[in-house]
Structure 1
């Protein structure tokens, strides 16, 4: 079974980005490398931190904003839980959320799951591509959403329609150029139908 290990974000200033992510609290889960590859608008993906309670959401969002992130969707309660969306200084979009509406302990800054949501043109076709490349489906909702199996503490990869993902993030779906992200994992390197790159031993 093929699984994702982590993500590499391509950024113009690796030192500044690494400093931001360490202060944000995800420095051990995200890697950065220098790149000046052109990109405009929505890059076609979001990263989500799934946590256990609202005060942890507040802690992560507060740290991101203090480090220079931009608020895309303010933190608020909804029928599904509690969360908000920010954009890091390097341009990556982060959603921090919990299904819980009440705090039951201290704000530990502990991450339950790190999810990379890929915005794709055709969820069904991309799902089949990934299955053919050795990934195992753990959740599937027709042409709307697919999630792949991931070992504990590793990166969970999921597929969502590009327009729906942009709406969830609070941005326009328009964008072009590089995704500015590389997914690391086992198996053979490949590029998916939407241009997302998977690499075994990235430089």
Structure 2
């Protein structure tokens, strides 16, 4: 089954970015970093989401991110689907930290249950066809708004969201130019999708 094996963020300062991600979210091997000075402005067309178990953990991770230098985009708050907040990392990547739970069941932790890469797309039907053609398996599809793919043993789940809706969810305007500053690794690559997101060939990690 085709899935994401790695997510590489292209950043101006890899040492500073590594320090932020380990301090704020405890992410070390889950994402890769690559130096880049490719021009980019505004919304880069994607977000990364961290799903956790309860609101207290959302607050802990959002607070740690802000202390480490992140910029708040949406304060952590209740919604119809649960509880969450959005921040922009110092390198410009947008992160959403959320839970479907509305009440705490214990002390706050730093445990991350799932990481989701959300790509903003212009034509959902075309992008869905493209990715199924690359061997990805759809597990959830909501009209022309949202598509989710099976992740298998991958540390990162892939989902598609309409570009403007994703920007609104992140609390930013949908306009942006230049590089996505993102490289996705998978065993189906290399290719570039209809919205300009680049994939590279990465073999699945061997089971221990």
TM norm structure 2 = 0.94
Q: State how far apart, in whole Å, the 1-side matches of 2:9 and 2:189 are.
A: 20
Runs of 5+ unmatched residues, structure 2: 204-208
1:201 CA drift (Å):
4.2
Q: State how far apart, in whole Å, the 2-side matches of 1:52 and 1:201 are.
A: 30
1:183 CA drift (Å):
0.7
CA RMSD of aligned residues (A): 1.2
Aligned to 1:77: 78
Contact 2:189 2:202 in 1 (8 A): no
Closer, same or farther in 2 for the Cα pair 1:32/1:41, shift >3 Å?
same
Q: State how far apart, in whole Å, the 2-side matches of 1:6 and 1:85 are.
A: 22
Closer, same or farther in 2 for the Cα pair 1:152/1:2, shift >3 Å?
closer
Contact 1:6 1:184 in 2 (8 A): yes
Q: State how far apart, in whole Å, the 1-side matches of 2:144 and 2:124 are.
A: 5
1:6 CA drift (Å):
2.2
The alignment of Structure 1 onto Structure 2 pairs a total of residues equal to 202
Q: State how far apart, in whole Å, the 2-side matches of 1:105 and 1:28 are.
A: 27
TM norm structure 1 = 0.96
Asked if 1:48 is matched to 2:33, the reply is: no
Q: Secondary structure at the match of 1:29?
A: coil
Aligned to 1:32: 33
1:153 CA drift (Å):
5.5
Contact 2:6 2:185 in 1 (8 A): yes
Q: State how far apart, in whole Å, the 1-side matches of 2:121 and 2:80 are.
A: 26
Equivalences for residues 127-146 of structure 1 within 5 A? 127-146=128-147
Q: State how far apart, in whole Å, the 2-side matches of 1:152 and 1:69 are.
A: 30
What does the per-residue CA deviation read over 1:132-158, in whole Å, with 9 as the maximum and x for residues that have no partner?
000000100121100000024521000
Runs of 5+ unmatched residues, structure 1: none
